[in-house]
Structure 1
Amino acid sequence: MRALLQKIFNTRNPRIFARLDEQGICRAFRQSAQPPGPAGWHEVNEQRLTWLGAPLPTSAFTRR
């Protein structure tokens, strides 16, 4: 029971990823604990719907 409670209360916030096409235009967002895959997904600080269809500002990218 203790292990179950620790899993419930120790959950981390999901990370946010943006999918960029070849020109650097944002095409999709995804929240996940792991990176979705190598195909153009980049971790970002936040998700803004106004970024869809536009290049992301440099300040959007997470520094890790």
Structure 2
Amino acid sequence: MRALLEKTANPPRPRIFACVDEQGICRAFRQSAHAPGPASWHEVNEQRLVWLGAPLPESAFTSR
């Protein structure tokens, strides 16, 4: 019972992914527990709306 309560009390945080085109421009963000299918999605540390339509800084990418 205790294990069940711990799982429901602290659900995992959704991961943040950015869709980056061939030129390195951020086109979209997505939050999900699992990585989206296509290879153009990359996990990032945070999502900032000012990054849309611009290249992502190297510091944005996670080290996973």
- Give the shorter-chain TM-score range: 0.7 to 0.9
Could you list the runs of 5+ residues in structure 1 that have no partner in the other structure? none
- Identical counterparts, % of pairs: 78
Q: How far apart are 1:25 and its partner, in Å?
A: 0.2
CA distance in 2, matches of 1:3, 1:36: 29
Report the AA paired with residue 51 of structure 1: W
CA distance in 2, matches of 1:2, 1:18: 36
Could you list the runs of 5+ residues in structure 2 that have no partner in the other structure? none
Indicate yes or no: 2:30 matched with 1:30. yes
Let me know the Cα RMSD of the aligned residues: 1.5
Q: How far apart are 1:39 and its partner, in Å?
A: 3.1
What is the number of residues matched between the two proteins? 64
Following superposition of structure 1 onto structure 2, how do residues 1-64 of structure 1 map, counting pairs within 5 Å?
Answer: 5-64=5-64
CA distance in 2, matches of 1:2, 1:36: 32
**TM-score, normalised with respect to structure 1:** 0.87
**TM-score, normalised with respect to structure 2:** 0.87
